[in-house]
Amino acid sequence: MTEAVAPAPSADLSPDALVMEIMLTPEGRADPYPRYRALREATPIHRSDLGAVWFLSRYADSRQVLRDNRFAKSEGDDADDPDANPFFGRRRDRDEIVSRSLLNLNPPDHTRLRGLVSRGFTPSRVDKLRPAIEAMTDAVLDDLGAAGEGDVLDLLAFPLPVRVIGELVGVPESDRDRFRGLVRASATALEPGITNDEMDAADAAMGEMQEYFRALIATRRADPQDDLVSVLNAARDDGDGDGLTEQEMIITLILVFAAGFETTTNLIGNGLLALLRNPAELARLRADPDLVATAIEEILRFESPVQVDARRAREDAEVGGVAIPAGDWVTTFIGAANRDPAVFDQPDAFRIVERDTPVLSFASGIHYCLGASLARLEGQVVFGRLLERFGSIEWLEDEPAWRNTLILRGLTELNVRVR
């Protein structure tokens, strides 16, 4: 199967028009890469005429901003603030999951909370999960094999990550399925250009999840288990939680649990699609299973589950030789940075090869994803077992069905037949 050629952006589009296509149109969201490329070639450090926002599409510039503490997270800026990000600014200041979670905190609060949560993601703890992940993967593949064909997102890419992160966080198996729709609805609040109805749905989903985790915290306080909820309870009850509040626990647990399966679901779906659209690379991976770790890195580079990260300049700074004034917003197009020809050979081709430059899919610096090692482990186990189990995996459509989202990139479905 040859990869379909997506319509390229019009040659006469201005940089701002390219940005708007990427962020707000179904075509741009379905295939942002030609537009990333056009933006990078026209003005790789672009200041929008629509507000004090810069857009970066080169790797070096993006990595600098992600690692430079002069560029801070938003911490829930009021939507009525005239200096709020006009592209990603909150239109309501009610979303505590976004505004007061690790996702958007700065030191010292970020340092304090991250140190507590990292107790649940130690290398030894993640390594101990491998046998459980392998067993869970085999069970999910049994279901896929029994079905013979179907939506791999429903049959594999969602069930496995939610089981894994559910075990680590402490969400009982009987409760996990309900979170797929809740997390999908709440994650919409991260996207640019959402409607009032979508914001209402996000608020409702976030409220339901907060009530759920409030009750789970109480349950685990009475009956501790080997999970993150119990770890945070113990830290708080023993007095070494450094001022950890119950609301901080709730928000943190929602973020860890939601991110733990939403992005990994997309990693699996995006990765399988990339392999099916590139049969020569799929054959290489089948012939040499030891390439699976390299394949996961290429999947992360080629179709990053997270495409965008935004920061605000705390003080005057310079990026790529360009002066960024204090107060201006800087948006890093991670998906563009991961395909920068200055650092990646043949960036728009999917090739399972060792690359010297680390991908930015899990960000960089103090906000580097806590669950990165777990996501990589899940990806390696899933694709290793999947290709070992099924000698034939056939994609049943001609075109991918991408979700109409930008920040979190994933498919709505991926129908396959396995033998």
pLDDT tens per residue across span 315-328:
999 999 999 999 99
At the topology level, CATH places domain 15-76+94-418 in Cytochrome p450 (1.10.630)
pLDDT band for position 84 (cuts 50, 70, 90): low
User: In whole angstroms, how far apart are CA 8 and each of 11, 37, 302, 404, 412?
Assistant: 8, 10, 18, 18, 23
Angle between helices 372-389 and 279-287 (to 10 degrees): 90
Sign of CA dihedral 262, 259, 312, 41: negative
User: Taking the model in full, what pTM does it have?
Assistant: 0.91
Task: Share the mean pLDDT of the chain.
Answer: 89
Domain residue ranges in the chain: 15-76+94-418
Residue type, 63: R
Write down the pLDDT at residue 110. 84
Contact 366/110 with Cβ under 8 angstroms? yes
Contact 57/33 with Cβ under 8 angstroms? no
Contact 317/70 with Cβ under 8 angstroms? yes
Rounded Cα distance between 374 and 260, Å, is 9
Write the pLDDT tens digit of every residue in 200-248. Answer: 898 899 999 999 999 999 999 999 998 999 999 998 887 776 778 888 8
Write down the pLDDT at residue 94. 44
